[in-house]
Amino acid sequence: MSSMSPQRLLHLAQKSLLGHEALAILSLEQLPREMFPALFLEAFNRRLLNILKAMVRVWPFHFLPLGALMKSPQVDILNAVLDGLDMKYTQKSDSRRGKLHVLDLRDVGLNFWKVWAECTDDACSPEPKMRRQPVEHKGPKSALKVIANIYLLEVIHDAFLTHLLLWVMERASLVHLCCHQLKISVKNIHSMSKFLNILELGCIQEVQVNSDWRLPTLAKFAPYLGRMGSLHTLYLSHINVPSRITPENKVQFISQFTSQLTKLPHLRSLHMNSINFLADHLDQVLRCLKSPLETLSVTACLLSEADICYLSQCPKLSELKHLHLSGVPLTHISPKPLRVLLDRVAATLMTLNLMGCEITDSHLNAILPALSQCYQLTTLRFLGNRISMAMMEELLEHTGNLSALRLDLYPAPLESYNT
């Protein structure tokens, strides 16, 4: 026994304690805080739900990164943790030890558990490490912040998410639900408004909408979008304009959407896929941006020559790192604006996606001088364009000096097609 390390002895003591549920629960108030993470891990792995519930009530740290322990959602574990929180917050627990203010359900924070698992009694200095953890807490100190990534479906089959949302809704005055990544696949704005109303919208950093919305639905969602002041990434996909909409209403709905973009000072990444109201309105969208974009993705959309011309002049694209225009037909649009844009962003551009743009030899020849100056370029995608063998050789020659280029996808030249 004397040859065992302190860590090994501590682990045996923890296993022995967890073998006696009632004793373990009674001992929590007297245990050193250094023992809590390892003891919680052991109880989690053994699914000792009553002990987990009791530990949450007296958890001695400001945050609990529960999501890092769950490879997949586990409703029974969530129930135990939420029951422990109820004991602490809603039942006015008399424990003076509990400090928990942030429950993180995302798959992050694994380092917290690793640090404590590797600590020994005489070598661990936990307090400085804890203070370096990225914890957000904007609400009253008496309130609990729950951080989770949320996926809203038309019908929510996820028992984990359903239970969490119901629990938060019933405790709205005590709990702030902070969602960093929100995905939406709900067509009816009214059916998801009750969920949006319980979210702390100012915490949201990324939104993905993929619901085959119509333009009026996007306009109704826009006020929620305008309250997401921390948003840095916005994905919009498959937004359609109703066939019977009047031109006046179309302009009004677009304005309702773009006016909310002015309230997003941190937006750096804008992705728009299959958005059929963009033609002749892309400038209206980009003019409303408050800060320069790092990523602009406009894919599977029809754009006018005026739209492409505005891209070449847009001041919010001066620091662009990633440009995606795949599926945007450029055959009947002058190549000059694209060449001007590439000239402007040559010092920063890292990704260029021109797949399926119907680019011809003359278009490619016009942009090659600018393309050859993009020395930061790491990825070039050019599949789906019909160019000749001679122009392919020109393309290879102009990109051969781009030392950072790691991925280049080129189409087969026209001569290789069977005629």
Q: What is the pLDDT of residues 138-181, one digit of tens each?
A: 444 557 999 999 988 866 667 888 889 889 988 888 899 999 99
Tell which residue, 24, 106, 95, has the closest CA to residue 60.
Answer: 95
Q: What is the CATH architecture assignment of 179-416?
A: Alpha-Beta Horseshoe (3.80)
Domain ranges across the chain: 6-121, 179-416
Does position 73 have pLDDT exceeding 70, yes or no? yes
Convert the pLDDT of each residue in 322-361 to its tens digit: 999 999 999 999 999 999 999 999 999 999 999 999 999 9
Residue 157's pLDDT is 61
Band of the pLDDT at 120, cuts 50, 70, 90?
very low
Residue 355's pLDDT is 96
Measured CA to CA, the distance from residue 328 to residue 295 in angstroms comes to 16
Does position 30 have pLDDT exceeding 90, yes or no? no
52-83 in b/e form (b: 16+ CB < 10 A) is bbbbbbbbbbebbbbbbbeeeebeebbbbbbb
Residue 161's pLDDT is 86
Q: Percentage of the chain with pLDDT > 70?
A: 86
> Locate tokens 């190549």: which residue?
335
Does position 394 have pLDDT exceeding 80, yes or no? yes
Mean pLDDT of 78-82: 95
Q: Which of 187-191, 285-289, 408-412 has the highest mean pLDDT?
A: 285-289
Does position 132 have pLDDT exceeding 50, yes or no? no
Mean pLDDT of 111-129: 55
Band of the pLDDT at 24, cuts 50, 70, 90?
confident
Band of the pLDDT at 122, cuts 50, 70, 90?
very low
Q: Percentage of the chain with pLDDT > 90?
A: 62
Mean pLDDT of 197-210: 94
Phi, then psi, of 219 in degrees rounded to 5: -65, -35
Band of the pLDDT at 7, cuts 50, 70, 90?
low
Residue 55's pLDDT is 94
Average pLDDT of the chain is 87
Convert the pLDDT of each residue in 97-109 to its tens digit: 678 899 999 988 7
Does position 70 have pLDDT exceeding 70, yes or no? yes
Does position 319 have pLDDT exceeding 80, yes or no? yes
Q: What is the pTM of this model?
A: 0.86
Convert the pLDDT of each residue in 244-300 to its tens digit: 999 999 999 999 999 999 999 999 999 999 999 999 999 999 999 999 999 999 999
